[in-house]
Amino acid sequence: MRKCMFSEEGQWYKGNLHSHTTNSDGRLKPEEAVKLYKNHGYHFLCFSEHDFFTDLREKFDCEDFILLPGVEASAYLVDPEKKGVIKTHHIHGILGNEWMQKQAGEKVFAHGEKLQPPVYVGTWDGLMAAQKLSDWLREKGCFTTYNHPIWSRVELQEVEKLTGIWAMEIYNYGTQIECGEGYDTVFWEQMLRKGTKIMGFASDDNHNPGKFFDSLGGYVMVKSKELSHESIVNHLLAGDYYFSGGPHIEQWGIEDGKIFVECSGVERINFIAGGMLAGSETILSHNGLLNNGLHELRGDETYVRVECIDRYGRTAWTNPLWF
């Protein structure tokens, strides 16, 4: 029996969940950012301004493009002597589905609402600080992501026991081209191995600063019957999507005790398994490119996820399939 992980019906919609404009520290005006992403085949975009919630749907939503309202909330640990930031939590709140907004009631964010980031001096309980920030965003009708932990200088124990976080940012294109700190699969993998059911995503975190072009590099692909806030958010929450820096994953799932994946031409496919030692596997192309792959399950896996890597080193990731 074949179980597919992506919806069989609908079409693919491309989106960037982490983006900045002149409403915080980005260089592009919102209208310039919308034009850029629309012209390059994107269907949805989230303006995640630093500690500033925006909802510009009325201005920019149209038949083939929508905005997801959001905010990137911060907490800081500072050194009083060096007068610098030691580490930070950046937790993204994206406006949730209708049920989540109804649960929040009057607490739902208003357009233009400013946040006052907590500042801890000298020392902090990093886990508590992150959990408190995420919980508050959820109370405001949002679902939350933990962004770029390597760049933020946090330690694994400050995030691995977080609860209620929808996803971790696994590939941040902006920080990768800026300073080589954009991949966060180790944090994600450690959380998955401890039993945390958390999704992943890729994004740009674009600021368009001039030194590097940091747009159009990391994105999510959602297969949905319609392009609407409710439909896209529900697919994201269910993990019914993949995320990528280039390759395309058409379908994946399980059939007759094997994990299968169908993708654009790539040079290698990694099947990453939780559970007992040596349960993962890599398939390499030797003649031409790979468009599919199979991995036989042993039966002791706690989850399996797939990575498809092309000749340029660009990766597409699935979310975990848990057992």
Q: Using one digit for the tens of pLDDT, what is the confidence trace for 179-188?
A: 999 999 999 9
Residue-wise pLDDT tens digits, 94-126: 999 999 999 999 999 999 999 999 999 999 999
Read off the tokens for 246.
């280039």
pLDDT beyond 80 at 68: yes
Q: Which segments of the chain are extended strands (E)?
A: 2-4, 11-19, 44-47, 66-67, 70-79, 84-95, 119-121, 142-146, 167-172, 199-203, 219-224, 241-244, 249-255, 258-266, 268-274, 281-284, 290-296, 303-309, 315-318, 321-322
Under the banding of pLDDT at 50, 70 and 90, the label for residue 209 is: confident
Is 242 within 8 Å of 262 (Cβ atoms)? no
The predicted pLDDT at position 184 comes to 98
Beta bridge partners of 235: none
Question: In this structure, which topology does domain 246-323 adopt according to CATH?
Answer: Immunoglobulin-like (2.60.40)
Is 219 within 8 Å of 203 (Cβ atoms)? yes
Give the mean pLDDT of 8-17. Answer: 96
Closest among 304, 315, 259 to 280, alpha carbons compared = 304
Share of residues in the chain with pLDDT > 70 (%): 100
Give the mean pLDDT of 83-93. Answer: 97
Closest among 7, 69, 64 to 40, alpha carbons compared = 64
Closest among 59, 4, 3 to 33, alpha carbons compared = 59
CA distances to 134, 219, 282, 283 from 270, in Å: 31, 20, 4, 7
**Residue for token digits 């790539």?**
266
DSSP string, 64-104: TBEE--EEEEEEEEEETTTTEEEEEEEEEEEE--HHHHHHH
Give the mean pLDDT of 240-268. Answer: 98
Residue-wise pLDDT tens digits, 216-250: 999 999 999 999 999 999 999 999 999 999 999 99
Sketch the domain layout of the chain as residue ranges.
8-244, 246-323
Give the mean pLDDT of 69-78. Answer: 99
Torsion angles phi and psi, residue 207, rounded to 5 = -115, -15
Give the mean pLDDT of 18-42. Answer: 98
Same fold, 8-244 and 246-323: no
Other Cβ atoms closer than 10 A to 85:
14
CATH 3.20.20.140 fits 8-244, yes or no: yes
Edge to edge, the sheet with strand 84-95 lists 119-121, 70-79, 84-95, 142-146, 167-172, 199-203
Under the banding of pLDDT at 50, 70 and 90, the label for residue 86 is: very high
pTM of the prediction?
0.96
Euclidean distance between CA atoms 268 and 266, whole angstroms: 6
The predicted pLDDT at position 201 comes to 99
Q: Identify the helix (H) or strand (E) that includes residue 235.
A: helix 229-238
Is 31 within 8 Å of 4 (Cβ atoms)? no
The predicted pLDDT at position 211 comes to 84
Under the banding of pLDDT at 50, 70 and 90, the label for residue 318 is: very high
Read off the tokens for 231.
């439909």
